[in-house]
Structure formats: C-alpha cells, structure tokens
Structure 1
Amino acid sequence: MLTEGEVRALTALHGEQTVSELATNLDRSLSYTSELVERLETAGLVETRRQGKTKQIRPSGAKALELLTDLTQQYSHIDWPELLSGATLRVCYYLDTPRTVTDLSRHADVHRSTVHRALAPLQHRGIVYQTDDGAYTLNDGFEQLSTFARELAHHVHRQTAEEQTDTYTILWESLDEFIVQTTTEIIEEHFIPTGPDQFQRYDLPLLARDRRYYLYSETTSELSPEMLCCHMLVIDSGARAQSYCLLLLSHVDIDRDVLRAHATKYDVEDAVDELCTYLDTSGDQRTSRLPEWEDFQELAEEYEVTL
C-alpha cells in the first residue's frame, strides 16, 4: 500500500514545502525525494505547483492523510513509518474486528509468517493484543489504525476508478477489489463487467439499464455464476433482483459451497441463505421480498427455466 519512505515523507510534510526542504527533513538525496514526491502525487496524496524554478509540495485533501496526521500527533513517540511499512497496513486493514493469524493471512492474502512479522512489533508496543481465544485485536485508542488502512485503500480505489470515469459509485470494496457503478463503458482489463447485463451469458436477458457495473480485480479473470449472484445482491437487494438471482441459481449448475464462500466475501450471507432455503423448500420458507412460489414458477416459465 505504502512504502516506509512514502509514509515517512507524508509524516514529514507539514504545510507547503519545496522538494529540497523535504529532502533535508528526511535526510535523503534530492533525487530520491523527487521520486517519492512523484509517486505520492500520482497516488493523489500530495499536490505540487511550480513557483519559479522550485516545486512546491503540500498534502492533498485525502481523508487518509487526516487520519495519519491524527495518529502521528497523538502518538508522536511511535515511529509509525517503520511500523507501517511492508505488509503491516494490509494486515491492519482487517483488524477492524478480532481475527486469528489464519484469518488475517487469508483475508490479507499474505503468508502466516508475514502476519506474525507484522503483528510482533505492534504487540511489543501495546498497539495490538491477543485475546484468550487466540485472536488479535487493536488496543483501545489505536482503532483508527485500521480506519486509516481502510481509508487509504478506499482512496486508492477512487483513484483507480477516476482514471476511467468521472462519475461513479463504489458499491462494495475489500483491500484489493471493488465493485463500481458508472454510466461509462470501461474497457481496461482489470475492470470485469458484472451486474444485470451479464445474466445474458446464461440465457437470462434482463432489462437493460443505463448504469454499468464492474468488478475491479487484478487477480480475477472470469466471472463465475456464483460471483454474479452475489454481485447482483450487492448492487440491488430488492425483490426483483432476488427473483433474478433465483432464476440464475435454478438455471445454472451452482456449487453451493463456492456460493456461500463468495456470499461471505461480499457480505450477503443472509440473502444467499434465504435464496437457497426458498429453492430447497419450493417457496414454503420465504421472506417478504421473495415471490410466491406460483409467481416464481410463472417467471421461470417466461425465461424458459426448468425448476
């Protein structure tokens, strides 16, 4: 997310400075500092302007910087740049709730040994502690560390989206991925089309909308029906969207274990469980947002889906 040098530059940058002044504060070469500034400017974390032959730099208005400033001012005795380098911020992203090393490793997508290396100095300084059941959690007063990591990831996602479109809404996000709604067609390879339009891939032509939906992911290359179902519930949890998900689950060979794993990832576990229970009981167990079984049978017949 950020290197030690980038964090150190951000914590050393107060108000407006020249690159030369920042280099002096960091005790680093002018060329090294210039490279840092370029990376931070590209990331939208600093702003620059020319004043004669010098380049003036100042922090941007990113909320993540406000959180970092509050953290470093409140605990000025802690060397935050050293602590937050490497994978530590990735781990802190998921310390919004107590988690075991195994959970942190899986969520942050790093090795267990990396999690241990990230947690050890935090535990030594009393920033995190281990509960009786083996989970790690942030001590009182340090909860904003996870908030900072999350806000920083959100800032990166916004920068990524704004490179492709001016108007957008992020509907869901994790550390490395997000689902975005926009009216703009995006053809960049890491933006995978999802949402109602993709039901056509399974012979379920839904009504076209002006809005477009994309999953941004650098690791996912293909959208599975299990993922599409969960994305649809993230996009719209209303009665019509749930009926469309019922059609998809009935029409395509779905792996229930994979579906539930994705439901956990996208925070739609309850909705997915309700859909599965509805289908398993032929509508005998249904919530108010799910159709009467007879109505769903008519919808399925309309879309030529065999129940």
Structure 2
Amino acid sequence: MLTEGELRALVVLHGEQTVSGLATELDRSLSYTSELVERLETTGLVETRRDGKTKRVRPSDAKALELLADITQTHSHIEWPELVSGATLRVLYYLDTPRAATDLARRADVHRSTVHRALDPLKHRGIVYQTEDDAYALNEGFERLSTLARELAHHDHRQTVERYTDTYTIRWESLDEFLVQTADDITAEDFVPTGPEQFQAYDLPLLARDRRYYLYSETTRDLSPETLCCHMLVIDAGARVQSYCLLLLSHVDVDRDELRSQAVTYDVDDLVDDLCTYLDTSGEQRTSRLPEWEDFQELAAEYEVTV
C-alpha cells in the first residue's frame, strides 16, 4: 500500500507538471521527489515523459486516482495522506462492513494494536465510529475510503499479472492475493497453478480446457484439497464443477474445519455447506445443481472413487 509521501504526491499532482514543480509543491528536495515519482511510475499510478532535459509527470488513468481526487476534493480540510497511508489502507480494505478489531487484524494480517493505532485518528475526526458491540465502521459519507483501498489493491494486482500476460480475468481477490484466469502459461514463482488440471494430483484426471488458472500469493506454494475445492467453486459454480468437487471431497481425507475456513475466505461458504450436507445425507438433501445420488455414484465409479 502507498506510503504517506507517495499519497501526498498523488494528492497534489493535478494534470501534467514538471518533477521540479512537484518538488516545490511538496516542499521536498528534487532527489526525494524524483525517487517518489519513480516508485509511483513502477506502480502504474503516474506516467512520465521527457521534454528536452525536463521530466514531466502526470497521473495515470487508474480508477483509484479518480476516487482519491474525489475524496480529497470533497473533504479538502482533512489531511488525508497523514491519515490513510500504509497500514491504515490495509485495514480500510476490510472496513467495507463493520468489523471488530480482532477480525480486521486477522484479515489485514496486522497486529490488533495496529488496527487501533490506524483507526483511532479517523475516529477522532468522525470518519470512523465504533458500534455498540465494539466493531469499527465508517461513518456515512466516508464509505468510499474502503472502496479506495480496494481499488488500489486491484490496480496493484492488475499491474502484477500484466507483467506476464495481456489477456486475463481476475476471478477473486483479497488484499494480498488473487485468482486469475488466462490462456497463457505463467511460470513465475508467486503464481501457483490451480483449477481442473490440479485434480490430477489427487488421481482425478479431469478434462481441462485451454484456460489456465493461478493463485497469486507470496506465501502459498502448495494447494490443499480444501483450497482447490474453493477455487473450483470460484471459477465455476455450475453443476458439472460441483460434481467434481464432490468427487474430490469423497476421495481425499478433507479437514472440514479447514474447508469451511477456506470457504469463508473465498466467499463460497454456502456452496461448501451444500456439498457437505449432500455427502452427509447421501444425496437426500441436495440443491438443484447437485446430481441425484444414483447419478453421482455412477460418476464416482468412473473415477474409482468410493462414496
């Protein structure tokens, strides 16, 4: 997420101007401002061009910058760079709905004290309040701060994947990870293959299409069956994919608690609950997208899966 200096530069950057002019507005040295501009150019938030010996800089067309400009112009009396940079943006990403400090800390991967330290200044200015059950929430008129944090993360994810392919669809994303669909092979370390092809690791050779799926993560290297099941449901929640997930859950020793935890993360908890209920009741309780039990038994027999 953006530092206070980077955010301040974006706030004062209106149209195209010289880097030296930007340094004057920021009241910082030319070398410091040049470094800021280089970092922001790497993120795709600004663009630069040479005009003789002069370097000019302008905002890119990133949607996040439109939101930032709107917020800062609407509430011009607030010193936004000081309030919402760094860890605060991480916390705001998950403040799209009222959340307790513990929940925010877990989701944003920061310490609980960091959540309080980040949000207390916003609370003192009436931007954030605490509910009766002690959850943090954004006051009316400031909900766009969470949208801004999400747009900044989305922009960063797009910049990341566009280093390797021009044709892609982001199917799911969180603050630090995203699930992407593409027709291209991506061999970079942080792109972990997922989707139908990965069922082969569990002796379930599914017919994969030309599309490829990857989880971008700086920490995950091997996918658990619980995570793979959730990825499949994110990719396609249709009847065919749900049947494949039933095969996986029947064939592999799955940790149900971990499965439900992953399902909440990927927002497919209702679908996972339906799958588990279906298997626990031998198909007596099923949704319209799940097969008749006899049909599923036939499919399982084809893949030599015991149900």
Pick the TM interval, shorter chain: over 0.9
In structure 1, distance between residues paired with 2:127 and 2:208: 50
> How is 1:272-283 mapped onto 2 (pairs within 5 angstroms)?
272-283=272-283
Match of 2:249 in 1: 249
Match of 2:267 in 1: 267
Match of 2:41 in 1: 41
Aligned residue identity for 1:115: V
Match of 2:129 in 1: 129
Aligned residue identity for 1:306: T
Aligned residue identity for 1:39: R
SS of match in other structure, 1:57:
strand
- Residue 214 (str. 1) matches residue 217 (str. 2): no
Match of 1:138 in 2: 138
Question: TM-score, normalised to structure 2's length?
Answer: 0.99
Match of 1:182 in 2: 182
Q: Runs of 5+ in structure 2 lacking a partner?
A: none
In structure 1, distance between residues paired with 2:86 and 2:163: 26
In structure 1, distance between residues paired with 2:61 and 2:24: 24
Describe the superposition over 1:151-200 as per-residue Cα deviations: whole angstroms up to 9, x where unpaired: 01000000001011110000000000000000000000000000000000
> How is 1:1-307 mapped onto 2 (pairs within 5 angstroms)?
1-307=1-307
Compute the displacement of 1:204 (Å): 0.4
Aligned residue identity for 1:244: Y
Aligned residue identity for 1:169: T
Between the aligned residues of both structures, percent identity stands at 80
Aligned residue identity for 1:220: T
Describe the superposition over 1:28-79 as per-residue Cα deviations: whole angstroms up to 9, x where unpaired: 1101100100010010000111111111110000000000000100011111
In structure 1, distance between residues paired with 2:166 and 2:280: 44
Describe the superposition over 1:203-250 as per-residue Cα deviations: whole angstroms up to 9, x where unpaired: 000112100000001111210000000000000000000000000000
Aligned residue identity for 2:172: W
In structure 1, distance between residues paired with 2:36 and 2:138: 30
SS of match in other structure, 1:116:
helix
Aligned residue identity for 1:225: P
Compute the displacement of 1:84 (Å): 1.4
SS of match in other structure, 1:137:
strand
Aligned residue identity for 1:270: D
How many equivalent pairs are there?
A: 307
SS of match in other structure, 1:261:
helix
Q: Runs of 5+ in structure 1 lacking a partner?
A: none
In structure 2, distance between residues paired with 1:219 and 1:305: 32
Compute the displacement of 1:300 (Å): 0.3
In structure 2, distance between residues paired with 1:199 and 1:275: 17
Aligned residue identity for 1:14: H
In structure 1, distance between residues paired with 2:219 and 2:124: 34
Describe the superposition over 1:80-108 as per-residue Cα deviations: whole angstroms up to 9, x where unpaired: 01011220000000110000000100000
SS of match in other structure, 2:129:
strand
In structure 1, distance between residues paired with 2:238 and 2:245: 11
In structure 2, distance between residues paired with 1:242 and 1:7: 44
Aligned residue identity for 2:202: Y
In structure 2, distance between residues paired with 1:208 and 1:274: 25
In structure 2, distance between residues paired with 1:85 and 1:154: 16
SS of match in other structure, 1:58:
strand
